[in-house]
Amino acid sequence: MKTIKGPAIFLAQFADDQAPFNSLQSICEWMASKGYKGVQIPSWDKRLIDLELAATSQTYADEVKGIVQETGMEITELSTHLQGQLVAVHPAYNELFDGFAPKEMAGDLKAKTAWATQQLMYAAKASANLGLNAHATFSGALMWHLVYPWPQRPAGLVDTAFDELARRWLPILNEFDQHGVDVCYELHPGEDLHDGITFETFLDKVNQHPRANILYDPSHFVLQCLDYVQFIDFYHERIKMFHVKDAEFNPTGKQGVYGGFQGWIERAGRFRSLGDGQVDFGAIFSKLSQYDYDGWAVLEWECAIKHPEQGATEGAPFIQDHIIRVTEKAFDDFAGTGADESFNKRILGI
């Protein structure tokens, strides 16, 4: 067994124009002071990193890595959640996702998709330049608006959608493979890859590509009423990243999974700071340790109630307390008698 690394933190929700969250050095210094050992960097935020430059200049990549290391931390992974979303977007969402790409591409769905694909290509090389072996992203979605089959879906529609999703992602997966980096899809409502079945469908379409893997985040499974612990039994070989995020689901006589178009504070299902929700992290850390997960445990703070600084401050010790230092010996070794093959045969009477 292997010991999980951490605690680490995803910087996306903390980056800001105000100090100390307005530069990579200052935000890392603040996170280090709270007990974090690693940071996951959102690649779209140039206050923290220039993705293209990190891909094309080893010198710059070394500088970024050095800034983080000077604070006593490591870069755990890069993230292209926003860019990955744009790899596949249904036209109905075109304008809603304009803010994820450069302003000059507003309304131009093909341009945004081409830009996003290039961004992922940069992310593969940048990850390699930074010495990373895993990358966080979203799959995008061509058929999220069809998640509930009414009217009924035409025959073959799901196959057609996943064929197209695979066609768009295969060149990206191959590029990551060339650089020795895993693509870890965060399985998330709003994406075509949002649970185990959709991930399996995608795997079939990309010929079980070895770089197509999972960013495991139990909070999204709580909101789908999915068994997030058993999920690890099914998919542990593909889980290469872990977001430590809490959530709660409290259905009422008025709303359930779909949330009644309510804001986050009023929804039956909502994200919470660590320890304030319903996720059984003891079971999760035990299960991941059982299956030799040796990646990072990365806090993703999203909470409708608690201030992010309090969430981050409480998050590091929470994760540290859940990381299991795995044992190198069996608990009952003290009672072992020692044996050899002939002894074993005598015990069996053979």
State residue 346's pLDDT score: 86
Q: Check: CB of residue 75 under 8 Å from CB of residue 65.
A: yes
**Mean pLDDT in residue range 222-235:** 98
State residue 337's pLDDT score: 74
State the Cα–Cα distance between residues 48 and 15, nearest whole angstrom: 8
State residue 339's pLDDT score: 77
SS3 state of residue 223: coil
State the Cα–Cα distance between residues 140 and 186, nearest whole angstrom: 10
Which helix (H) or strand (E) covers residue 313, if one does? helix 308-322
State the Cα–Cα distance between residues 164 and 150, nearest whole angstrom: 22
**Mean pLDDT in residue range 11-17:** 97
Best CA proximity match to 10, nearest among 304, 221, 215: 215
Residue 30 reports pLDDT greater than 80: yes
pLDDT digits (tens, 9 = 90+) for 102-153: 999 999 999 999 999 999 999 999 999 999 999 999 999 999 999 999 999 9
pLDDT digits (tens, 9 = 90+) for 168-198: 999 999 999 999 999 999 999 999 999 999 9
Best CA proximity match to 222, nearest among 275, 278, 265: 278
| Residue environment code for 129-146, b if the CB has 16+ CB neighbours within 10 A, otherwise e | bbebebbbbbbbbbbbeb
Q: Which amino acid, residue 134?
A: A
pLDDT digits (tens, 9 = 90+) for 308-350: 999 999 999 999 999 999 988 777 776 777 778 888 888 899 9
State residue 347's pLDDT score: 84
Every domain of the chain and the residues it spans: 5-348
Residue ranges of the alpha helices (H) in 131-280?
157-178, 196-205, 218-222, 228-235
State the Cα–Cα distance between residues 36 and 316, nearest whole angstrom: 6
pLDDT digits (tens, 9 = 90+) for 34-51: 999 999 999 999 999 999
Residue 305 reports pLDDT greater than 90: yes
User: 36 CB contacts (<8 Å, ≥6 apart)?
Assistant: 7, 8, 9, 73, 299, 316
Centre a 10 Å sphere on the Cβ of residue 254 and count the other Cβ atoms it contains: 8
Q: Check: CB of residue 186 under 8 Å from CB of residue 238.
A: no
State the Cα–Cα distance between residues 124 and 180, nearest whole angstrom: 9
State residue 336's pLDDT score: 78
Look at phi and psi of residue 209 and say left if phi exceeds 0, alpha if psi is from -120 to 50, else beta.
beta
Over pLDDT 70: what percentage of the chain? 99
Angle, helices 24-33 vs 58-70, to 10°: value is 30
User: 212 CB contacts (<8 Å, ≥6 apart)?
Assistant: 169, 173, 183, 185, 202, 203, 206, 238
State the Cα–Cα distance between residues 327 and 273, nearest whole angstrom: 30
5-348 is classed in which CATH architecture? Alpha-Beta Barrel (3.20)
Best CA proximity match to 216, nearest among 254, 172, 182, 184: 184
